[in-house]
Structure 1
Amino acid sequence: MASSLSSSLPCPLFFLFLLCNTSLLLVVGGLNSEGTALISFKAGIRDDPAGSLRNWNSSDQDPCSWNGITCRGGSVAALSLPKKKLVGYLSSALGSLRSLRHVNLRNNRLFGSLPASLFAARQLQSLVLYGNFLSGSLPPEIGELLYLQSLDLSGNLFAGPIPSSLIHCKRLKALVLSHNNFTGSLPLGFGGSLAELEKLDLSYNGFSGPIPTDVGNLTNLQGTLGLSHNRFSGSIPPSLGNLPETVYIDLTYNNLSGPVPQNGALENRGPTAFIGNPGLCGPPLKNSCPPEVPSSNPFRPINYSPPALEGNSTHSGSSSSRLSNAAVIAFVASDVVGIGLIALVFFYFYCKAIASVGAKEDGETSEKRPKGRKECMCFRKEDSETSPDSIEHHELVSLDRNVPFDLDELLKASAFVLGKSGIGIVYKVVLDDGLTLAVRTLGEGGSQRFKEFQTEVEAIGKVRHPNIVTLRAYYWSINEKLLIYDYIPNGNLSAMIHGKTGTRNSTPLSWEVRLKIMKGIAKGLAFLHEISPKKYVHGDLKPNNVLLGPDVEPYISDFGVGHLANIAGGSPFLQSDRIAVEKIQGQHSDVAFGPIMSKGSGYQAPEASMMLKPSQKWDVYSFGVILLELISSRSPLVLLDTVEMDLVSWFHLCIEEKKPLSDVLDPFLAQELDTEDEIIAVLKIALVCVQANPEKRPSMRHVTDTLERLINRN
């Protein structure tokens, strides 16, 4: 029939008919344009040992079912293939994906340059390429990504200067370019234009020139400002003092010179942030500034000069002489008064010694009196142990043989406030040798309970685990009680999930990092419950009490602090609460308790409001809430229309209404489709942990084993 049809049609019309039918077949059965662009990306991959691109077939109508691809409204929104050992180059065809918002190709083996045409995908919000072998310069077309929020190119071989167009990406929250070969100075207007930045790491590059003064405008920064291991020169801008005090400003190993400013966030910093800059001087460094260098103290007049450096006029000389004579007289007078006071003290104790000896000793000869005086002035061991709680203690007690500091070093160290609570204030303290500690105050009072405090604090000090903050030492006096811990540098889990108070959320956490945090908390809690010297109950487990180390490893903090604060006289409890807790602790001395959680915190087990005795099952419930929080990135108290409900109730409501998983997930996790099975498995663990009946909740050992199997399976 086809032959008869062709013979009946003129030749041009036959070819037109054939062309139309062929086009129709392509539309019906062929791959769409986005899929074609992704096939071009696949063509640039030379090796795919994990078979991640195995189901990328050109026979499909669209790529939405392919591994690593997420679609929204039928268009490709995300390409996520992290840690797949892909070897190849980036295809420029990716720029034709007009709805592409997220690209995550971290920790692969991609090489070659970053194609400028990639930035034709103007909707890009995150571009994560760290841990590859990409090289060349950063194309100026990056400035056209007006919606870009996260750019991580760290751990590659990029070189050349940062294009000035980058400052047009005003929505950037995370800029991580560390461990590359970038050079040149930072673009003009860098800090002023990128004021939304919450994370900035430019360390381990070859950046040069002065640090822009407008970097001090980055008031949303969190964690560490990484400028170390570069070639920045000139003085440290005092404007860096405008940064939040909780930001660690790392300026090590540059070519900076001049005095270290002592204002705002730069004030009372330890020397560790400035080492490797031979030209820097002044506090907190040991090398003082030469006289001709003006002081960096913002409160001292510019024209101020010390008296010793003023002119040699007769008037100045006589004035200096009179000042010296007055000073000498004052010192002599103070010495005389001091010696007199010491003599009075000795005389007082001598009189007490004579009176205590009694009438018999009044008749003794003078050669026996020194013996009586010696017995009175020197405490015998048995005398000092009869009433230990009545003695004022003024010494730092080490709980670790390797503690390399004493009380004087601690009190003289640079310090600034990390946080305040009803229990006390926590300081970051940097010693002269660079050792950084966290010091918590516990208030005043409690002079009659030293023995109880000593027993409890030494038991806590014996707890050693990689996921628990270590208590290194303590100090006790009537007016001050201090707990000295290891300093954990990356803030707490709450800030990592939600951002600090008053700011937008921080850079989203990958599922891999979240799983690592979950596993670490579970291990630490299981250790407290079953393996530690005492069977502890934390009692106040929440993200604020989970600190994060340099590699985002979790550390449980503040267990036992509530009880210590109660003993020390600085307890945040009401008197009735304090009596109740003391009564419980007297009845159950084999368990150590943390502070009771406030009602309505969202982490409190349902039975906690009806029982005085804390239980390890309380901690299991709190851990379950933390899992739900890590999965959803929602606060523990959810506002639903005008009704506030806790996170557990909200999850149960979503399950009853059969909402899809994407409705409860953190939107960032929706990009990692290859982790969906793991997320569902962890969600099941969380829901078991937050069961209303405490007897149905698993032990933390069981939870840890389950998470371990989940992780080792992949």
Structure 2
Amino acid sequence: MKGNDAGTKRSGKYSARLLISALATVGALLLVALMCFWGCFLYKKFGKTDSQSLAVDVGGGASVVMFHADFHYSSKDVIKKLETLNDEHIIGSGGFGTVYKLAMDDGNVFALKRIVKTNEGLDRFFERELEILGSIKHRYLVNLRGYCNSPSSKLLIYDYLPGGSLDDALHEFGIAEKAEQLDWDARLNILMGAAKGLAYLHHDCSPRIIHRDIKSSNILLDGNLEARVSDFGLAKLLEDEESHITTIVAGTFGYLAPEYMQSGRATERTDVFSFGVLMLEVLSGKRPTDSSFIEKGLNIVGWLNFLVAENRQREIVDPHCEGMREESLDTLLAIAIQCVSSNPEDRPTMHRVVQVLESEVMTPCPSDFYDSSSD
């Protein structure tokens, strides 16, 4: 009997340990399942980032301001559309923010640029500057239609350009598509439009506007490949309202004038330098910091100077550009060389650039650009 009792006790202890082990395993599995469920719940409720959904950015306190009478949508309609935007609507991004495609119910399409606020105290400054930018309307500028003022960001509403950016056209198109769409005349028209847009900012706006970031990705194209300058005024918009001269260099490496990189002071002449780089990019089809330049310790301006020194400047033309006319190339190179001069005083104004493009490139005649003084 005692032996049987001892065996029974050992068997009972073994069964108890087995039961405890099984319960512990089941408990652990239930805990893991619960944690997974809770994690999924939290992600669905809170896990979406601002880029995945803008709904949180246009919540309570949001308001819409519209600048043009033909932008006839109510604040309610605009905010309702803004709340539906997500990653699928992103069409671009850059130093100033993410850009979304905003399609209204009537079929009209706009571009929405989201700028995250960094200083709540600058709201009035933002609004003053946006009022100025919203009053500017020009054929060769991307017009600001309005903005949504939300608690955490500014949402700027622009015209939508279906042709994308000049950067994409020059560097993302296939060779066949590039040869077909970006022939010589198309490139001249693009440069003409960009020059007129920048000249308007420099000479016809009050107050005058220095762009600070002229580059191919800030030149947008409509369905007919007509160019419009975008992102003008945004560099100043994001400065401290107490600052009169920026000490932080805005802009993009490869396009910046040497004196701007040294002093941080932007002027019309620093924009002209950037436009000269843009001209070389359009003519050559190469980025300002193309790897073929970097390997030789150069950029696109250094490459031009090298070719000019060896009287080989015509080699700058993109081999995939069809219909090149040598008489207009000489004048274009003359303009570009002066625009990228290391001495700001030797650079022409954008008004002068437009004059020469109109009179001697679009309507060719003997060039006296080298002999003319920059005004």
Separation in structure 2 between the aligned mates of residue 583 and residue 660 of structure 1, nearest angstrom? 42
Match of 1:262 in 2: none
1:399 to 67, 70, 74: 67
* Residues 352-392 of structure 1 deviation map (CA, whole Å, 9 limit, x = unaligned): xxxxxxxxxxxxxxxxxxxxxxxxxxxxxxxxxxxxxxxx9
Match of 1:656 in 2: 309
Query: CA offset at residue 409 of structure 1?
Result: 1.9
Match of 2:264 in 1: 612
Specify whether residues 475 and 684 from structure 1 end up closer, same or farther in structure 2 by C-alpha distance, changes over 3 A only: same
2:299 to 646, 649, 658: 646
**Structure with the greater alpha carbon radius of gyration:** 1
* Residues 245-277 of structure 1 deviation map (CA, whole Å, 9 limit, x = unaligned): xxxxxxxxxxxxxxxxxxxxxxxxxxxxxxxxx
Q: Report the structure, 1 or 2, having the larger helix content.
A: 2
* Residues 178-198 of structure 1 deviation map (CA, whole Å, 9 limit, x = unaligned): xxxxxxxxxxxxxxxxxxxxx
Query: CA offset at residue 640 of structure 1?
Result: 4.2
Separation in structure 2 between the aligned mates of residue 405 and residue 431 of structure 1, nearest angstrom? 9
Separation in structure 1 between the aligned mates of residue 102 and residue 197 of structure 2, nearest angstrom? 25
Contact kept? 2:161, 2:220, Cα under 8 Å? yes
Identity, % of aligned pairs? Answer: 32
Query: CA offset at residue 427 of structure 1?
Result: 0.3
| Partner SS state of residue 460, structure 1 | helix
Matches within 5 A, 1:100-499: 394-413=62-81, 415=85, 416-499=89-172
For CA contacts below 8 A with separation 6 or more, give which structure has more relative contact order: 2
Separation in structure 1 between the aligned mates of residue 76 and residue 333 of structure 2, nearest angstrom? 50
**AA in 2 matched with 1:668:** H
Specify whether residues 423 and 595 from structure 1 end up closer, same or farther in structure 2 by C-alpha distance, changes over 3 A only: farther
Query: CA offset at residue 562 of structure 1?
Result: 2.7
Contact kept? 1:538, 1:594, Cα under 8 Å? no
**AA in 2 matched with 1:583:** S
Match of 1:631 in 2: 283
Contact kept? 2:216, 2:278, Cα under 8 Å? yes
Are positions 1:707 and 2:360 aligned together? no
Are positions 1:538 and 2:211 aligned together? yes
Contact kept? 1:524, 1:556, Cα under 8 Å? yes
Query: CA offset at residue 644 of structure 1?
Result: 3.8
TM-score, normalised to structure 1, is 0.40
Specify whether residues 713 and 640 from structure 1 end up closer, same or farther in structure 2 by C-alpha distance, changes over 3 A only: closer
| Partner SS state of residue 178, structure 2 | coil
Match of 1:264 in 2: none
Match of 1:688 in 2: 338
Contact kept? 2:175, 2:320, Cα under 8 Å? no
Separation in structure 2 between the aligned mates of residue 594 and residue 410 of structure 1, nearest angstrom? 35
**AA in 1 matched with 2:216:** P
**AA in 1 matched with 2:281:** E
Separation in structure 2 between the aligned mates of residue 470 and residue 636 of structure 1, nearest angstrom? 27
Query: CA offset at residue 665 of structure 1?
Result: 1.4
Match of 1:324 in 2: none
2:244 to 580, 584, 589: 584
Contact kept? 1:537, 1:594, Cα under 8 Å? no
Separation in structure 2 between the aligned mates of residue 435 and residue 641 of structure 1, nearest angstrom? 43
Match of 1:507 in 2: 178
Separation in structure 2 between the aligned mates of residue 659 and residue 566 of structure 1, nearest angstrom? 43
Query: CA offset at residue 660 of structure 1?
Result: 6.2
Match of 2:9 in 1: none
Separation in structure 1 between the aligned mates of residue 138 and residue 175 of structure 2, nearest angstrom? 33
Specify whether residues 660 and 530 from structure 1 end up closer, same or farther in structure 2 by C-alpha distance, changes over 3 A only: closer
Separation in structure 2 between the aligned mates of residue 506 and residue 648 of structure 1, nearest angstrom? 27
Query: CA offset at residue 505 of structure 1?
Result: 8.2
| Partner SS state of residue 536, structure 1 | coil
1:517 to 148, 166, 190: 190
Query: CA offset at residue 595 of structure 1?
Result: 6.9
Separation in structure 2 between the aligned mates of residue 602 and residue 455 of structure 1, nearest angstrom? 32
Separation in structure 2 between the aligned mates of residue 543 and residue 582 of structure 1, nearest angstrom? 31
What stretches of structure 2 of length at least 5 have no aligned partner? 1-59, 366-375
Separation in structure 2 between the aligned mates of residue 679 and residue 538 of structure 1, nearest angstrom? 27
Specify whether residues 611 and 640 from structure 1 end up closer, same or farther in structure 2 by C-alpha distance, changes over 3 A only: closer
| Partner SS state of residue 342, structure 2 | coil
Specify whether residues 524 and 595 from structure 1 end up closer, same or farther in structure 2 by C-alpha distance, changes over 3 A only: farther
Specify whether residues 498 and 583 from structure 1 end up closer, same or farther in structure 2 by C-alpha distance, changes over 3 A only: same
Q: Report the structure, 1 or 2, having the larger strand content.
A: 1
Specify whether residues 531 and 480 from structure 1 end up closer, same or farther in structure 2 by C-alpha distance, changes over 3 A only: same
* Residues 320-344 of structure 1 deviation map (CA, whole Å, 9 limit, x = unaligned): xxxxxxxxxxxxxxxxxxxxxxxxx
Query: CA offset at residue 400 of structure 1?
Result: 1.2
What stretches of structure 1 of length at least 5 have no aligned partner? 1-391, 568-580, 587-592
Query: CA offset at residue 476 of structure 1?
Result: 1.4
Contact kept? 1:490, 1:547, Cα under 8 Å? yes
Match of 2:13 in 1: none
TM-score, normalised to structure 2, is 0.74
Contact kept? 1:559, 1:594, Cα under 8 Å? no
Separation in structure 2 between the aligned mates of residue 437 and residue 475 of structure 1, nearest angstrom? 13
Contact kept? 1:560, 1:594, Cα under 8 Å? no
Contact kept? 2:211, 2:235, Cα under 8 Å? no
Contact kept? 1:442, 1:565, Cα under 8 Å? no
**AA in 1 matched with 2:237:** L
Match of 1:234 in 2: none
Query: CA offset at residue 393 of structure 1?
Result: 5.0
| Partner SS state of residue 495, structure 1 | helix
Specify whether residues 400 and 393 from structure 1 end up closer, same or farther in structure 2 by C-alpha distance, changes over 3 A only: farther
Query: CA offset at residue 643 of structure 1?
Result: 2.6
**AA in 2 matched with 1:637:** T
Separation in structure 1 between the aligned mates of residue 186 and residue 130 of structure 2, nearest angstrom? 33
Separation in structure 1 between the aligned mates of residue 73 and residue 248 of structure 2, nearest angstrom? 28
Give the length in aligned residue pairs: 298
Separation in structure 1 between the aligned mates of residue 328 and residue 280 of structure 2, nearest angstrom? 14
**AA in 2 matched with 1:507:** K
**AA in 1 matched with 2:251:** M
**AA in 1 matched with 2:250:** I
* Residues 104-137 of structure 1 deviation map (CA, whole Å, 9 limit, x = unaligned): xxxxxxxxxxxxxxxxxxxxxxxxxxxxxxxxxx
| Partner SS state of residue 163, structure 2 | coil
**AA in 2 matched with 1:625:** V
Specify whether residues 412 and 478 from structure 1 end up closer, same or farther in structure 2 by C-alpha distance, changes over 3 A only: closer
**AA in 2 matched with 1:652:** N
Specify whether residues 457 and 660 from structure 1 end up closer, same or farther in structure 2 by C-alpha distance, changes over 3 A only: closer
Query: CA offset at residue 482 of structure 1?
Result: 0.9
**AA in 2 matched with 1:624:** G
| Partner SS state of residue 507, structure 1 | helix
